[in-house]
C-alpha cells in the first residue's frame, strides 16, 4: 500500500536539489507505508526497542542520514512527517495540509523525500531493497541534491557521518524516531524524546551530523 504525496510548488521557482522547478501543478512523491521513507501506519517502537526496520529502511538510513538528522533537529519537519504518515492512503489534500501547516519544516522534509526517491527509485542504490515498497513516480525529478549532499557531507562531515554508519547508535536512534507514528503529534514527539533517552549517544551523534550538515553543507543539502 502506498501514499501519494502531492507537493504544491509556490509561485515561481522552487529549488529542488539545485534544479529550478517551475510549476503550478506541483510534483508528486509517492512513498510506502514503511516508516523511514515516509510511511508507517502505526507506532512500532516506543523508544529504542528492537529493530523493527525493513531492508528498505536500513538501506536508505545511511544514504539519507544527513537529511534525516536535519529533519530530526527540526520539530516542524518531524510534525510534517508524523502528520503525513497518518493521512489516509491517496489523500493528497491531507498531506498538503500537513506540509503547509508547518512551513518551517518544508525545506528539510522535502530534502528527505527527495533523497528517498533518489536512492530508492529508478535504479538508485536502494532500488532492489525498496522497489517493492516504494511506488515510484517516473516524472518526479529529485535533482542532484541528494548526491551532492552526500558528496559534501562525505568530505566535510566525515567524522560525524562515520558515527552514524549502519549499525551505529546514531542509526538506531534515527530508525527509532522514524517509527514514532502515533496520530497524536504530541505523543509522537514524546516518543522521539523516549528514543533519545534510550539512546543518548546516538541522539548526540545525530545532532552533531545535523549541525555539520547545516553549517558546512547547507546549500548542497536542501
The C-alpha atoms of residue 117 and residue 164 are separated, in whole angstroms, by 21
Judge whether 61 lies within some domain. Answer: yes
Judge whether 192 lies within some domain. Answer: yes
Is residue 18's pLDDT more than 70?
no
The C-alpha atoms of residue 39 and residue 201 are separated, in whole angstroms, by 26
Judge whether 151 lies within some domain. Answer: yes
Q: Which of 126, 89, 88, 117 is nearest to 27 (CA)?
A: 117
**Which residue(s) pair with 32 in the sheet?**
2
Mean pLDDT of 149-153: 94
Mean pLDDT of 51-62: 76
Q: Which residue has the higher pLDDT, 3 or 19?
A: 3
* 29 backbone dihedrals φ, ψ, rounded to 5°: -115, 120
Model pLDDT, residue 53: 64
pTM of the model: 0.76
- The alpha-carbon radius of gyration of the chain (Å, integer) is 16
The CA-atom distances, in angstroms, between 184 and each of 80, 98, 135, 187 are: 12, 13, 26, 5
Model pLDDT, residue 89: 63
Model pLDDT, residue 73: 94
Q: Grid coordinates representing 220?
A: 548542497
Judge whether 222 lies within some domain. Answer: no
Judge whether 30 lies within some domain. Answer: yes
Judge whether 200 lies within some domain. Answer: yes
Model pLDDT, residue 141: 59
Instruction: Reduce the DSSP state of residue 184 to 3 states and report it.
Output: coil
Q: Which of 150, 144, 138 is nearest to 61 (CA)?
A: 150
Q: What domain count does the chain have? A: 1
Q: How confident is the model at residue 46 (pLDDT cuts 50, 70, 90)?
A: very low
Segments forming the whole domain that contains residue 131: 2-217
Amino acid at each position: 500500500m502506498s501514499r501519494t504525496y502531492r507537493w504544491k510548488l509556490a509561485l515561481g521557482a522552487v529549488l529542488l536539489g539545485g534544479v529550478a522547478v517551475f510549476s503550478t501543478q506541483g510534483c508528486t512523491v509517492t512513498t510506502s507505508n514503511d516508516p523511514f521513507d515516509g510511511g508507517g501506519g502505526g507506532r512500532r517502537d516506543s523508544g529504542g526497542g528492537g529493530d523493527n526496520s525493513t531492508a528498505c529502511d536500513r538501506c536508505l538510513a545511511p544514504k539519507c542520514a544527513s537529511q534525516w538528522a536535519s529533519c530530526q533537529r527540526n520539530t516542524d519537519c518531524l510534525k510534517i512527517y508524523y502528520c503525513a504518515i497518518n493521512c489516509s492512503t491517496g489523500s493528497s489534500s491531507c498531506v498538503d495540509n500537513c506540509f503547509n501547516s508547518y512551513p518551517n519544516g518544508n525545506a528539510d522534509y522535502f530534502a528527505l523525500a527527495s533523497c528517498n526517491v533518489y536512492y530508492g527509485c529508478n535504479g538508485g542504490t536502494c532500488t532492489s531493497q525498496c522497489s517493492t515498497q516504494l511506488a515510484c513516480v517516473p516524472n518526479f525529478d529529485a535533482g542532484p541534491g541528494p548526491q551532492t549532499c552526500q558528496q559534501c557531507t562525505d568530505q566535510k562531515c566525515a567524522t560525524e557521518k562515520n558515527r552514524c554508519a549502519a549499525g551505529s547508535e546514531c542509526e538506531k536512534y534515527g530508525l527509532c524516531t522514524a517509527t514514532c507514528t502515533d496520530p497524536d503529534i504530541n505523543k509522537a514527539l514524546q516518543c522521539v524524546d523516549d528514543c533519545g533517552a534510550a539512546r543518548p549517544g546516538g541522539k548526540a551523534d545525530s545532532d552533531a551530523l545535523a549541525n555539520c550538515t547545516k553549517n558546512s553543507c547547507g546549500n548542497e543539502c536542501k
